[in-house]
């Protein structure tokens, strides 16, 4: 990801009391309502989430931005790769803004376009005539999506990764999956791919720290990226809850380690977790393995149920947390005065190639 510099927004915003900041956000949002669409990811803190016109996961929000052709300003309360996807899918007349440019994604940053290109060349040399299909998780940069598009690959999400992986095997012999090792492994396991045909490509290592025979035999090659939030959930946390509350249900995100997913009762995307918990019977008990803001929100929305985080620690997405009310107010008041700050743009060539991969997923 390119290095982005967030300017100092000054004491007018940073030192203002939160109650007044929230009042000002509500006022300027009302003034801009005909031109403005605020998108809020599920992991946002409540003080920001409350102002979202549409809430959801990253791809749902980007698609909603594209559908809202009457909205000139798209303020994306998420992280950088999400805003990039929104810019790719929206028209040239729409402007996508990220309230704080420091809101990135460590997982997306683990797979740079240069590193993936180098690994791809090594992999092709070793595997000879094998047809390799690249699959990138939506949690990746526009440049990575643009790498995948022209090579016959696709984007996937946490909700359709298994389906996209199945499609990839109908197109070729091997799948190179990045940047999330764990989503890739869990999806491969669900499809019944033997563990000895799944290997990990270690970043910065010759042949990903594999020998040529391993790569020739492998059906799935996994980039060794991960989500810093979901890596905090452990198999021991599942065991702890089973012993403490024998009737509790465990649901986790597929970015969790494979041993955690295997022990859970359910796993799925953020949208799937929300639907499963919301639709469960009253008095249900849940331990949820995902970001704490979503867990807390589900707890408030379901007072008839007992809902906990799977981990005893607060598993917070620190980069998502950079989108604070003061930064949201700053971008909105600038828009009100005709000043565009923190615009996220993807250059036309990258956008066109990335859109190939996004469109291919939507057709699968």
Question: Would the CATH topology of 11-103+319-345 be identical to that of 230-309?
Answer: yes
Domain chopping of the chain, boundaries: 11-103+319-345, 108-228, 230-309
Say whether domain 11-103+319-345 belongs to CATH 3.40.50.10800.
yes
Give me the pLDDT at residue 2, please. 47
231-257 tens-digit pLDDT: 999 999 999 999 999 999 999 999 999
Give me the pLDDT at residue 125, please. 94
Q: Which CATH number fits domain 230-309: 3.20.20.10, 1.10.10.60, 3.30.70.20, 3.40.50.10800?
A: 3.40.50.10800
Enter the tokens of residue 335.
Answer: 């828009």
Give me the pLDDT at residue 1, please. 42
User: Domain 108-228 falls in which CATH fold?
Assistant: Rossmann fold (3.40.50)
d(CA 142, CA 349): 11
Does an H or E element contain 360, and which?
helix 348-363
Give me the pLDDT at residue 128, please. 84
Residue stretches of the chain with pLDDT short of 70: 1-4
Beta strands in the chain (DSSP E): 36-41, 54-56, 73-77, 95-97, 132-137, 154-156, 174-178, 198-201, 220-223, 249-252, 266-267, 285-289, 306-309
Give me the pLDDT at residue 364, please. 87
Length in residues, the chain? 364
Give me the pLDDT at residue 84, please. 96
Give me the pLDDT at residue 59, please. 85
Q: Are 9 and 330 in contact (CB under 8 A)?
A: yes
Does an H or E element contain 293, and which?
helix 292-301
Percent of the chain topping pLDDT 90? 95
Give me the pLDDT at residue 235, please. 98
């Amino acid at each position: 990801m390119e290095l982005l510099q967030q300017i100092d927004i000054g004491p007018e915003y940073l030192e203002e009391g939160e109650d007044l900041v929230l009042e000002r956000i509500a006022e300027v949002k009302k003034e801009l309502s005909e031109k403005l669409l605020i998108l809020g990811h599920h992991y946002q803190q409540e003080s920001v989430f409350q102002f979202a016109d549409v809430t959801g996961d990253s791809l749902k929000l980007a698609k909603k931005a594209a559908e809202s052709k009457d909205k000139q300003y798209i303020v994306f309360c998420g992280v950088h790769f999400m805003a990039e996807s929104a810019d790719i899918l929206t028209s040239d007349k729409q402007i996508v803004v990220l309230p704080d440019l420091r809101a990135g994604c460590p997982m997306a940053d683990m797979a740079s376009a240069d590193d993936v290109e180098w690994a791809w060349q090594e992999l092709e040399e070793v595997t000879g005539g094998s047809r390799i299909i690249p699959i990138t998780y939506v949690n990746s940069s526009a440049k990575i999506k643009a790498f995948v598009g022209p090579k016959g690959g696709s984007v996937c999400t946490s909700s359709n990764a298994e389906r996209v992986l199945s499609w990839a095997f109908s197109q070729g012999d091997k799948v190179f999956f990045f940047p999330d090792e764990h989503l890739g492994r869990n999806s491969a396991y669900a499809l019944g791919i033997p563990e000895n045909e799944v290997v990990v490509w270690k970043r910065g290592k010759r042949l990903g720290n594999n020998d040529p025979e391993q790569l020739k035999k492998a059906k799935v090659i996994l980039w060794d990226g991960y989500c810093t939030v979901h890596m905090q959930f452990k198999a021991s946390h599942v065991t702890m809850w089973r012993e403490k509350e024998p009737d509790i249900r465990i649901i986790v995100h597929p970015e969790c380690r494979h041993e955690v997913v295997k022990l859970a009762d359910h796993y799925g995307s953020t949208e799937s977790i929300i639907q499963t918990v919301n639709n469960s019977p009253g008095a249900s008990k849940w331990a949820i393995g995902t970001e704490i803001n979503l867990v807390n929100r589900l707890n408030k929305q379901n007072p008839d149920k007992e809902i906990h985080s799977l981990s005893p620690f607060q598993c917070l997405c620190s980069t998502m947390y950079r989108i604070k009310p003061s930064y949201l107010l700053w971008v909105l008041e600038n828009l009100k005065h005709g000043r565009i700050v923190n615009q996220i743009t993807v250059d036309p060539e990258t956008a066109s190639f990335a859109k190939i991969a996004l469109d291919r997923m939507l057709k699968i």
